[in-house]
Amino acid sequence: MPIVLFESQYHPPLPFFTEIIGAEALRLETQEHYHKQTYRNRCLILTAQGVKPLIVPVVDGNRSEKVKITDIEVDYRQNWVHQHWRTIQTAYGGTPYFEYYADYLHDIYVQKHQRLFDLNLAFLRFYLRCLRLRTPVEFTTEYFSTYPATTCPSYSVDQVANEVKDCRDSLTPKSLVASEPDRKSVQLYTQTFGKDFVSGLSILDLLFMQGPAAGSFLV
């Protein structure tokens, strides 16, 4: 299996994790410039009113796309931590496993990581443990706009192990929510609201509903 390359994401959606199952490593892009309106600083959760985005504000948002991703600072002048946590509590407080994970997640929030990349990494390491994924996490040391050997979402099983499967920006909030559920990558599960399965949601949705069994729903 190749190395899977992704950008840093805030509470990533389910396909992020299905892509790295069995991979030699997960490599996070550290050399790119920040991109607005992506999963880098937002996630989607399911509420009684439908799908709701949670967006982490960043310092100097107007010039943020000219800043290296690892230098992007979180804007704590806005009370977003309280707002995100209250929204998560309201949406998932009644789920089977909210209390099971709530303290761990809240502890990461209150650490107030200065940089967005570090905040995302803290949540990512937590999710990998919860899903029992032992995929090593690596970081890029230089930037390549393309990786010609492979492209997401398909690659040859005969490719050598150290090739890179480039999945950067392959997942976007608009495309995932608009898509039909991918039964080849995610086993459908009961969600908190609505009758139809909603795609593109954060890993939080699956984790709060299925708890320690969540990893078995990623296929």
Distance CA 55, CA 118 (A): 16
Render pLDDT for 22-47 as a digit per residue (tens, 0 to 9). Answer: 999 999 999 999 999 999 999 999 99
Q: Fill in the DSSP letter of residue 72.
A: P
Distance CA 77, CA 57 (A): 9
Domain boundaries, the chain: 3-217
The pLDDT value given to residue 123? 98
**Is residue 154 predicted with pLDDT exceeding 50?**
no
Q: Which of 55-64, 68-77, 153-162 has the lowest mean pLDDT?
A: 153-162
Closest of 29, 23, 24 to residue 147, by C-alpha: 29
Render pLDDT for 159-218 as a digit per residue (tens, 0 to 9). Answer: 444 689 999 999 998 776 655 555 556 789 999 998 889 988 999 999 999 999 999 998
Q: How many CA atoms lie less than 13 Å away from 214 in the CB half-sphere?
A: 27
The pLDDT value given to residue 161? 43
Closest of 39, 43, 36, 37 to residue 28, by C-alpha: 39
